Amino acid sequence: MTRKQRFVSTVLPPVVVLILATAGLELAVRIFQIQPFLLPAPSRVAGALWKYRDELAISLWTTAQAALIGFVASAVFGILLAIPLSAWPLARRAFYPYTVFFQTVPIIAIAPLLVIWINPGLESTATCAFVVSVFPVIANTLTGMLSTDPALVDLFRLYDAGAWARLWKLRLPSAIPSIMTGLRIAAGLAVIGTVVGEFFVGLLGEAEGLGVRIVAANKVGKTDLLFAAVLMASLLGLAMFAGVNLAAKLLLRHWHASEKDT
Amino acid sequence: MERLASDAIALRLQSVRKTFPGGVEAVAGVSLDIKAGEFLAILGPSGCGKSTLLRLIAGLDSPTGGSVELSDKLERGRIAYVFQDAHLLPWRNVLRNVALPLELLGIPKQKRLASAREALERVGLGDALRRYPAQLSGGMKMRVSLARAMVVEPRILLMDEPFAALDEITRQALDEQLRNLWLKERMTVLFVTHSTAEAAFLADRAVVLTRRPGRVVTDIAVDLPVERTGPLRATAQFAGVIRLLYEALTKGGA
């Protein structure tokens, strides 16, 4: 397959689905004459996107900052925490249950508290993003580091490798594929966490992020604006996911014969 | 691990036992003297404790009874181990994979890369230095693994069914290459295999172990020419050695 053919065969199918689904929705809304405040037609959403483009751009930027800060904090903290947990079984037994806690916390319940405790604004929304996205990083890094090839561990022991060499030259690089899986999940979750945090920031009058926009649009029945904001949030999550994917591709380009450049 | 005073003996096993926690007895009293520069095949059915024996010799595990004694002359890092599969680091190219043992032993960069290049030349991979494991065939990966073992100029080379996963033709080619390497370097080789043909072609001496727990049943001197090439496999003499090994293996309960 040439580069062009491969591009067409991977990009074309989802694009066709998108066009068909959008057209179907447009048609259904018109035929059944659904009220715009219940379900706006895609054309109306597109109209809202254009009409409110300045406000939405500001909102997108606000949300993107918080989601990125939360995501980077999750990546750094998650990996740094997983290293000692992987090295010491006792530490793992002592702390791992509490990292699971991060995943089971219903963010919707604690977000209002975080907003009050920290500050309504970037700090609290980034914290929400961090809380929901840190667990997959810890869990996946840990899995990766604990499943290092035992034969290679033996090889390192045979040549008297110290703890530092084992970590840097074996355990951490072995875990990269798993770490990347964790980061892919964390990227999407960080955006969700931020938007949820913003719901409550909005209640306190700081009108900026996409979440704030969503709540405000909902109150006044501007469902088309609501959908436009949701779309922006999804695209933001998608962009962050794509960024992690690109990083993974660069880091792992030699690992699999399938990913080498042709 | 104790040290031997004599130079002629590279390795002495005295009633070596290994029982794993949980009560599985893998090795039950193996005693062996292995001469320096000897090519020894360890032959036995699956699960006879062959791999355990190698791990005990490498010091990766300690015996629950008996002793493993190594020659006085053996310096640190001069034992090499080749596993059943190549086990290369996928994020390192061939050259840096081979240089790894020297890197862990703290040899300076220039020196270790030069040694790695030389080791790769010796296994016929001098032109694949910059390639990554994912781009290599099974046979090439195994040769990289062999080069990684040879790079420390081992006095003792432990090999645990290293070519078992390869096709017959590649395997025979690698057997021949290994035998030639040994003729040049004369390190002590302990080669674990369950193939009588491989043991006959490679070794000068073969010991046969029983099914678990492993015990030595036969110690056979392989009476074949020192220089061995492909055509030897078709001779009556070779067939005779294989029959001898086969009978010993059958006696051992395989």
pLDDT digits (tens, 9 = 90+) for B170-210: 888 889 989 999 998 889 999 999 888 899 899 999 998 87
Q: Do A159 and B81 lie within an 8 Å CB cutoff? A: no
| CA quadruple B209, B215, B216, B217: dihedral sign | negative
Q: Do B77 and A155 lie within an 8 Å CB cutoff? A: no
Q: How many CA atoms lie within 13 A of B158 on its CB side?
A: 21
Q: Do A257 and B134 lie within an 8 Å CB cutoff? A: yes
- The pLDDT tens digits for A151-175 are 999 999 999 898 899 999 999 999 9
Judged by a CB distance cut-off of 8 A, whether residue B246 touches chain A is: no
Domain boundary among B128, B153, B178: B153
- CATH number, domain of B190, equals 3.40.50.300
A184 vs A176: CA distance, rounded Å: 12
**Which amino acid does the sequence have at A138?**
I
- B54: closest CA of chain A, how far (Å): 12
pLDDT at position B225, please? 84
Q: Do A257 and B93 lie within an 8 Å CB cutoff? A: no
Q: What is the mean pLDDT of residues B212-224?
A: 79
User: What is the band of B31 on the pLDDT scale with cuts at 50, 70, 90?
Assistant: confident
Residue B29 lies in a domain: yes
Q: Are A135 and A100 spatial neighbours (Cβ–Cβ below 8 Å)?
A: yes
- A2: closest CA of chain B, how far (Å): 20
**Which amino acid does the sequence have at A240?**
M
Total domain count for chain B?
A: 2
Together in a domain, B161 and B190: yes
- State the average pLDDT for chain B: 87
pLDDT at position B2, please? 59
Of A151, A156, A254, the CB nearest to B132: A254
Place of tokens 């062009």: A4
Residue of B nearest to A175 (CA): B91
- Going across the sheet that includes B25-35, the strands are B2-4, B65-71, B9-19, B25-35
B2 vs A143: CA distance, rounded Å: 38
Three-state SS for B173-200 is: HHHHHHHHHHHHHCCEEEEEECCHHHHH
Judged by a CB distance cut-off of 8 A, whether residue B151 touches chain A is: no
Together in a domain, B93 and B47: no
- A92: closest CA of chain B, how far (Å): 23
User: What is the band of A262 on the pLDDT scale with cuts at 50, 70, 90?
Assistant: very low
- The pLDDT tens digits for A213-229 are 998 898 888 999 999 99
pLDDT at position A203, please? 64
Together in a domain, B178 and B140: no
User: What is the band of A256 on the pLDDT scale with cuts at 50, 70, 90?
Assistant: confident
Tell me the count of A-B CB pairs closer than 8 A: 61
On chain B, the residues whose CB falls within 8 A of the CB of A152 are 87, 89
Judged by a CB distance cut-off of 8 A, whether residue B87 touches chain A is: yes
- Whether the pLDDT of residue B6 is over 80: the answer is no
Together in a domain, B102 and B15: no
Residue B77 lies in a domain: no
Q: Do B60 and A154 lie within an 8 Å CB cutoff? A: yes
Mean pLDDT lowest for which of B120-129, B183-192, B226-235? B226-235
pLDDT at position B164, please? 86
Judged by a CB distance cut-off of 8 A, whether residue A170 touches chain B is: yes
User: What is the band of B3 on the pLDDT scale with cuts at 50, 70, 90?
Assistant: low
Residue B73 lies in a domain: no
pLDDT at position B26, please? 83
pLDDT at position A260, please? 45
pLDDT at position B131, please? 93
pLDDT at position A207, please? 57
pLDDT at position A18, please? 93
Buried b (16+ CB within 10 A) or exposed e, A202-212: beeebbbbbbb
- Whether the pLDDT of residue B21 is over 90: the answer is no
A148 contact partners, CB below 8 Å, separation of at least 6: A170, A171, A174, A175
Together in a domain, B136 and B206: no
Compare A262 and A37 and report the one with higher pLDDT: A37
B40 vs B205: CA distance, rounded Å: 5
pLDDT at position A126, please? 94
Q: Do A257 and B135 lie within an 8 Å CB cutoff? A: yes
Residue B70 lies in a domain: no
User: What is the band of A205 on the pLDDT scale with cuts at 50, 70, 90?
Assistant: low
B7 vs A173: CA distance, rounded Å: 41
pLDDT at position B44, please? 82
Together in a domain, B61 and B162: yes
- The pLDDT tens digits for A54-88 are 999 999 999 999 999 999 999 999 999 999 999 89
Q: Do B105 and A159 lie within an 8 Å CB cutoff? A: yes
Together in a domain, B120 and B235: no
Beta strands B25-35 and B9-19 are antiparallel
Task: Give the number of other CB atoms < 10 A from CB of residue B118.
Answer: 14
A55 contact partners, CB below 8 Å, separation of at least 6: A213
Domain boundary among B101, B131, B153: B153
pLDDT at position A3, please? 79
B231 vs B243: CA distance, rounded Å: 18
pLDDT at position A233, please? 95
Instruction: Compute the radius of gyration of chain A from its Cα atoms.
Output: 22
Together in a domain, B174 and B111: no
Tell me which range, A97-101, B41-45, B61-65, B104-108, is most confidently predicted by mean pLDDT: B104-108
Of B81, B85, B93, the CB nearest to A158: B81
Domain boundary among B135, B153, B171: B153
Residue B83 lies in a domain: no
Phi, psi at A171, each rounded to 5°: -65, -45
On chain B, the residues whose CB falls within 8 A of the CB of A153 are none
pLDDT at position B221, please? 85
Q: What is the mean pLDDT of residues A229-235?
A: 94
Q: Do A254 and B76 lie within an 8 Å CB cutoff? A: no
On chain A, the residues whose CB falls within 8 A of the CB of B132 are 254-255, 260
- The pLDDT tens digits for A35-48 are 888 899 999 999 99
Phi, psi at B27, each rounded to 5°: -130, 130
On chain B, the residues whose CB falls within 8 A of the CB of A164 are none
| High-pLDDT (> 70) share of chain B, % | 94
Judged by a CB distance cut-off of 8 A, whether residue B5 touches chain A is: no
- State the average pLDDT for chain A: 89
Q: Which of B26, B18, B17 is nearest to B211 (CA)?
A: B26
Residue to mutate among A172, A179, A254, A262, with most B CBs inside 10 A, is A254
**Which amino acid does the sequence have at B16?**
V
Residue B171 lies in a domain: yes
Q: Which helix (H) or strand (E) holds B159?
A: strand B156-160
Residue B35 lies in a domain: yes
Judged by a CB distance cut-off of 8 A, whether residue B140 touches chain A is: no
Of B60, B85, B87, the CB nearest to A157: B60
Together in a domain, B12 and B125: no
User: What is the band of A206 on the pLDDT scale with cuts at 50, 70, 90?
Assistant: low
Residue B103 lies in a domain: yes
Q: Are B105 and A159 spatial neighbours (Cβ–Cβ below 8 Å)?
A: yes
Domain of residue B3, residue span: 1-65+155-254
Together in a domain, B55 and B165: yes
Judged by a CB distance cut-off of 8 A, whether residue A153 touches chain B is: no
Residue of A nearest to B84 (CA): A151
On chain A, the residues whose CB falls within 8 A of the CB of B134 are 254-257, 260
- Whether the pLDDT of residue B254 is over 60: the answer is no
| High-pLDDT (> 90) share of chain A, % | 64
Q: How many CA atoms lie within 13 A of B155 on its CB side?
A: 18
Together in a domain, B123 and B240: no
Residue A196 sits at the vertex; the CA angle it makes with A192 and A138, to the nearest 5 degrees, is 50
Together in a domain, B51 and B23: yes
- A1: closest CA of chain B, how far (Å): 19
